[in-house]
Every structure is written in structure tokens, then in C-alpha cells.
């Protein structure tokens, strides 16, 4: 196991205004929004789902406005909103259907009309607080946005601290919270946020309870502009799992008292945070703010044209070192995910082995001449009776070693076996995993994890059997180019997948080009490397072993070379980008 100086708190240094604590924030807002008693001054304070709503409202009401309107009082009843959203949320523990609501659908028209009449007749400071505020007062004098990253939302929902928008559901299981967020609330909030990012006057970070921070809109946009033109990392987060291992504890400097760590989301902008370092203070926001605000600079024109404002590439870690097997699973085909869930692309993926213990393996593809009905019947029997499913009878088990690469196009049965440290390179619709067999174990909540044999049976590609997998999905590595002190290899992905991966080995500087598309890389070998601009367009950027980093399309040409402890030694990176030409 390799030690490293993995950075858990990467940040972009930004110059600008910062206010910390409620007293400083209120003082700034009071001065900025001061008005005489006979003139109306309207302030909207927009909240993302998952903030500590009442606590924030209590603090901001101390501004003593002439009129305070909480948008919760303008919503339809929770029962009406639950009925309206039910076709998209459903009763399933995991899956729903992508909704197309706006905040107007959540508001009661008569209440909104009355609120607007109250605003028009107000003299002095009027504050509209909550969700959908800028819908109520679209011509406000000041716009303040209180943001929240999805990982923190998930932690709060696990602790039963927050509700969804317009409903009272804090006591529900965390999986139901995530589902409502994914299919309804976050779509609702993100669509409004996209309109407010260019015009907001202030942006607030309340991720640390009791320690609010606020920056000006100008500082926000300056920081996002800077980040979109340089290498950067999002803030990784780590989570235990029923199958979790021990590798990340050492390599990523994690709490040794934790039983295990199974996951690390190291590059999932929809889920991860982005840090600005403002005069030594970390300001946190969702990383997808960058995707929304600087889409083309970050993704590149061709990627934006294909994926819009979705960041299409995901890197995460799956640690089974001294752990257990992942669940046996399959991901939906593109047509199935569109027809069933309203999502327009699916989760193709691959397993790159950062490390592996002796005897490690990857389960991938079906055995030759497998009987589909017999296999599905056996899976159902295991689910209904608890009888172990004989995986070895139906699924290939391939030996796995460090730097192997296993390709997993949608519809292919797979899972990592114990003893592997997987860098998972995939497309981003991460919720859509159909578990077929979970080795008879319980989740961390003490309950069986959801099994989706019916969904899985509709998408398994039964022709992907032993010979196909061996010829097409296991270590399809070929040398592409080489030069002084470097060589480049193509490692995948399969032709059905839109992600291309290239591995570079280098002991001297190697030149890359974004090719007008975003690049995502991980330093898979070597203690440190440095990313530089040949023309000095950005400051040199140091990365450490196992860190994932993003190169925006706008960067163009960049170089990577060994650095620090790695100078004079061979390093390796794996790079992913969206494939446009074969």
C-alpha cells in the first residue's frame, strides 16, 4: 500500500470580498439594502433545497424588514405537492422519472397574487425569503443566493434534518430523499440557479452550521471564471460501504477509526463541492455551479452541444482492499434509461485498477452458453429464499492486477471482487445501477439493499459471454505514440461508449491538448506531477498520487512532468475525454 500526500481540500485562490458570521453578513446586507421608510426596496433571498431553513430565516429576520414574506406560506399544501410529484417520485426505493416542473407549479396562484400586492404597497425594506423567491419578485433590487452541495444534503437527509421542497418528509429513508432530490427538487433549483448565477449580488455558504460565509456576486463570478481556465480539482468525499476496504484510509489520510471506506467521489461535479480560498478561508459551493456558469469554457463546444450543461465524465474510487465483493450489477441500455426514467444517456463505465492484492478479481460478462432463463430464475430464488446465488456458474471471474483496465459498456454484468482498488471511469447518471445479487448481506442501515432483477433482466446483453469479454473488454491496451521520455497508450473504452481513455507513462514532460473538450485525469503512478502551460496562461498546478484533476477545454495545450519526490522517476496518468472521432 502506497503512502501519499493526497489533498482532501483542494481550492482555487480568489481575491474578493468575504463576510463571515451572521453579524458581518447582516451588517453588509443592512448597508447594501438600506432605504428610506417611504420607498420600496426589494430583496430576494433564494435557498437551495437542504439548507437549514428555519435557522437561516431566524438570523436574517433580524434585519427587521418592513415586510417579510416566507415563500413556504405561498406553496400549495404538502399533500397537493406530493400528489403532483408522485408520478415522478413513485413508490420505488431508488428510481423515479425526470420531472419538468418550475417553481410556478408549486405556488398557489391566489397566495402569490396577494403577496405581490403586499410587496407593491410596502414602504421600506421588503425581504422575500425561501425557495422560488425570484419567481415572486423577478425585478428585485438585490438577489442573495444561499447554496448547498448535494453531498451535504445527503448527510443531512441521513440525519433526518431536512425536508424536500414543499413537503414534510424529513423522517423518510435517505434513499427516498435522494430520489426526490434527483428527480424533482434539484432539477427545480438548478434551473432557477442557472438564471441567477450571472446576476446575483451575493452568494452564501452555510455548509458548516453556525458559520455562514458570504461573497459578492462579483467575487463568485471572478472565481468561476478563473477556475474555468486552469487545472483544478473538486472536493472529494468519502463514504463507508457494506463491501468497503482499507486502502483509502492510508493513501488518502482518512480517519483510521472508521470501520471502512468503500467510496470516494473524486470527480462528480453534480455531487462534489468546489472550494474558493479567499484570504485563507475556504468558501464552499456545488461544483456544478462552474458547469452552469462557464459551460463552454469548461466542457468545450462539441461536448456542450452533445451534453448541454451536464458534466459527462465521472471518476470515483471503489475500495475492496481487505473488503468484500461489490454487488453483482448491470447498468441500463440507453433506450431503456430514456423510456423508463427520462434520462438521455446511460452509465457506461470501466474499472481501472489503481492497486490490487494477490488473488483480486473482477466479475465481468457471462459464461459461454449461459441459459438466460435459468440465471434469472436462480437470481429470483436467491432474492425470495435467501439461498446463495451461484455466481461462478453464470458469470466470468477474471484475475485482476494493478494497472489492468476492464471495460463495461451498458448492459454488461459486472462487479469488482474483493482485494481491488478501482478507479471507476464512467458516464455520470450514477443512480442507475440495477443490483442483481448482493451476496446475502445487509446495508449499513441494517436493511437489505434494493435488488432490481426485473429491471436488470430487461437490459442484460446476453451475447456478452466469455470470448466476447476476453477479446473486447479486458485490457484492450495499444501503444499510440512515444517520444523522448514518454509513451501514450489507448486503454479503451469500448466502441459503444462515448468516453475515450489514454494512459501516459512519462519520466520527462509530455504534451497534451484538450482537443476542444474537457479532460479528466488521475495520477495513477508516481508521488507528484506538475501541470504547466507552455505559454504561462495559468499557474503551475501540482497533483499527487491518486488525485483526480480536471483540465477545462479552454486550456488547450498543457504539459505534465514528474515533480518533487517523483523527479527522475516514471509517472503515469490515465486521461478520459469525450470521443467524437473513431
Domain boundaries, the chain: 12-227, 237-472, 478-578
Q: Which residues of 395-433 are buried (b: 16+ CB within 10 A; e: fewer)?
A: bbebebeebbbbbbbbbbbbbbbbbbbbbbbbbbbbbbb
Residue 2: the pLDDT is 53
* 544 CB neighbour count, 10 Å cutoff: 20
Mean pLDDT per segment of 10 residues, for the chain of length 582 residues?
80 97 96 80 97 97 96 97 96 90 97 96 95 96 97 96 96 92 96 98 96 98 98 97 94 94 93 96 98 98 95 96 96 92 87 97 97 96 92 97 96 97 88 90 79 94 97 96 96 88 98 97 98 97 98 98 96 95 56
- Collapsing DSSP states into helix, strand and coil, what is residue 308? coil
User: pLDDT tens digits for 499-526?
Assistant: 999 999 999 999 999 999 999 999 999 9
Torsion sign across C-alpha atoms 99, 103, 106, 109: negative
* Interatomic CA distance for residues 349 and 346, integer angstroms: 9
For residues 347, 352, 356 and 360, what is the CA-based torsion angle, rounded to 10 degrees?
Answer: 50
Identical topology for domains 12-227 and 237-472: no
Residue 343: the pLDDT is 85
Angle at 161 between CA 155 and CA 163, to 5 degrees: 100
Residue 3: the pLDDT is 57
* Interatomic CA distance for residues 220 and 554, integer angstroms: 19
Quickly list H helices, 213-323.
Answer: 217-227, 247-251, 288-293, 295-299, 301-307
Residues 6+ apart with CB under 8 A from 109: none
Q: Does domain 237-472 match CATH 3.40.50.300?
A: no
Task: Dig out the grid coordinates for 558 from the structure.
Answer: 498543457
Residues 6+ apart with CB under 8 A from 214: 18, 19, 20, 24, 25, 28, 144, 202, 203, 204, 205
Residue 4: the pLDDT is 66
Q: Which CATH architecture has domain 478-578?
A: Sandwich (2.60)
Say which DSSP state 449 is in. Answer: P
Residue 344: the pLDDT is 81
Q: Which CATH number fits domain 12-227: 3.40.1310, 2.60.40, 3.40.50, 3.30.70?
A: 3.40.50
Report how far Cα 199 is from the mean position of its chain's Cα atoms.
Answer: 25
User: pLDDT tens digits for 83-95?
Assistant: 999 999 999 888 9
Q: State the angle between helix axes of 22-32 and 53-60 in degrees (0 to 180), rounded to the nearest 10.
A: 50
* Interatomic CA distance for residues 499 and 501, integer angstroms: 7
Asked if 290 and 269 count as a contact pair (C-beta separation under 8 A), the reply is yes
Task: Dig out the grid coordinates for 483 from the structure.
Answer: 517520444
Residue 428: the pLDDT is 78
Q: Residue 510, class by beta-carbon neighbours within 10 Å (0-12 exposed, 13-18 middle, 19+ buried)? A: buried
Task: Dig out the grid coordinates for 534 from the structure.
Answer: 507552455
Amino acid at each position: 500500500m502506497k503512502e501519499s500526500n493526497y489533498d482532501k481540500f483542494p481550492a482555487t485562490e480568489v481575491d474578493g470580498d468575504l463576510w463571515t458570521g451572521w453579524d458581518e453578513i447582516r451588517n453588509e446586507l443592512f448597508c447594501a439594502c438600506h432605504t428610506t421608510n417611504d420607498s420600496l426596496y426589494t430583496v430576494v433571498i433564494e435557498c437551495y433545497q437542504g439548507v437549514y431553513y428555519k435557522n437561516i430565516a431566524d438570523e436574517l429576520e433580524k434585519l427587521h424588514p418592513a415586510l417579510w414574506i416566507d415563500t413556504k406560506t405561498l406553496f400549495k399544501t404538502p399533500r397537493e405537492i406530493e400528489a403532483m410529484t408522485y408520478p415522478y417520485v413513485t413508490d420505488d426505493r431508488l428510481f423515479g422519472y425526470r420531472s419538468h416542473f418550475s417553481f410556478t407549479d408549486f405556488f398557489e396562484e391566489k397566495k402569490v397574487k396577494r403577496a405581490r400586492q403586499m410587496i407593491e404597497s410596502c414602504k421600506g425594506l421588503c425581504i422575500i425569503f425561501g425557495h422560488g423567491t425570484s419567481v415572486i419578485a423577478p425585478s428585485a433590487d438585490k438577489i442573495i443566493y444561499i447554496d448547498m452541495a448535494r453531498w451535504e444534503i445527503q448527510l443531512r437527509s441521513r440525519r433526518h434534518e431536512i425536508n424536500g421542497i414543499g413537503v414534510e418528509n424529513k423522517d423518510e429513508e435517505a434513499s427516498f430523499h435522494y430520489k426526490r432530490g434527483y428527480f424533482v427538487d434539484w432539477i427545480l433549483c438548478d434551473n432557477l440557479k442557472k438564471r441567477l448565477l450571472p446576476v446575483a449580488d451575493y452568494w452564501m455558504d452555510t455548509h458548516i452550521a453556525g458559520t455562514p460565509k458570504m461573497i459578492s456576486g462579483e467575487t463568485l463570478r471572478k472565481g468561476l471564471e478563473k477556475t474555468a481556465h486552469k487545472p483544478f480539482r473538486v472536493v472529494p468525499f468519502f463514504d463507508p460501504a457494506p463491501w468497503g476496504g482499507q486502502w483509502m484510509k492510508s493513501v488518502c489520510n482518512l480517519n483510521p477509526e472508521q470501520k471502512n471506506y468503500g467510496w470516494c467521489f473524486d470527480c462528480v461535479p453534480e455531487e462534489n463541492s468546489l472550494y474558493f480560498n479567499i484570504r485563507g478561508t475556504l468558501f464552499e459551493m456545488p461544483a456544478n455551479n462552474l458547469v452552469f456558469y462557464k459551460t463552454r469554457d469548461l466542457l468545450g463546444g462539441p461536448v456542450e452541444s452533445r451534453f448541454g450543461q451536464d458534466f459527462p465524465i465521472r471518476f470515483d474510487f471503489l475500495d475492496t482492499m481487505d473488503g468484500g465483493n461489490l454487488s453483482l450489477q448491470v447498468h441500463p441500455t440507453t433506450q431503456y434509461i430514456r423510456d423508463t426514467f427520462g434520462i438521455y444517456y446511460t452509465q457506461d463505465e470501466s474499472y481501472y485498477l489503481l492497486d490490487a492484492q494477490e488473488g483480486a478479481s473482477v466479475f465481468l460478462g457471462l459464461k459461454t452458453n449461459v441459459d438466460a432463463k435459468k440465471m434469472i430464475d436462480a437470481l429470483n430464488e436467491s432474492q425470495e429464499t435467501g439461498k446463495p446465488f451461484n455466481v461462478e456458474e453464470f458469470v466470468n471471474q477474471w484475475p485482476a492486477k494493478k494497472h489492468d483496465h476492464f471495460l463495461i459498456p451498458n448492459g454488461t454484468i459486472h462487479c469488482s471482487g474483493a482485494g481491488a482498488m478501482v478507479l471507476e471511469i464512467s458516464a455520470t447518471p450514477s443512480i442507475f445501477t440495477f443490483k442483481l445479487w448482493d451476496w446475502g448481506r445487509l446495508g449499513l442501515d441494517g436493511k437489505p439493499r434494493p435488488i432490481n432483477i426485473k429491471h436488470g433482466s430487461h437490459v442484460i446483453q446476453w451475447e456478452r459471454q466469455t470470448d466476447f469479454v476476453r477479446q473486447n473488454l479486458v485490457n484492450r491496451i495499444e501503444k499510440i505514440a512515444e517520444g523522448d521520455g514518454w509513451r501514450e497508450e489507448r486503454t479503451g473504452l469500448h466502441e459503444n461508449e462515448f468516453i475515450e481513455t489514454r494512459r501516459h507513462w512519462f519520466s520527462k514532460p509530455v504534451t497534451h491538448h484538450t482537443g476542444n473538450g474537457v479532460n479528466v485525469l488521475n495520477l495513477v503512478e508516481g508521488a507528484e506531477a506538475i501541470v504547466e502551460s507552455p505559454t504561462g496562461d495559468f499557474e503551475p498546478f501540482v497533483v499527487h498520487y491518486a488525485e483526480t484533476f480536471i483540465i477545462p477545454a479552454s486550456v488547450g495545450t498543457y504539459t505534465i512532468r514528474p515533480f518533487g519526490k517523483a523527479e527522475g522517476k516514471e509517472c503515469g496518468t490515465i486521461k478520459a475525454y469525450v470521443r467524437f472521432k473513431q
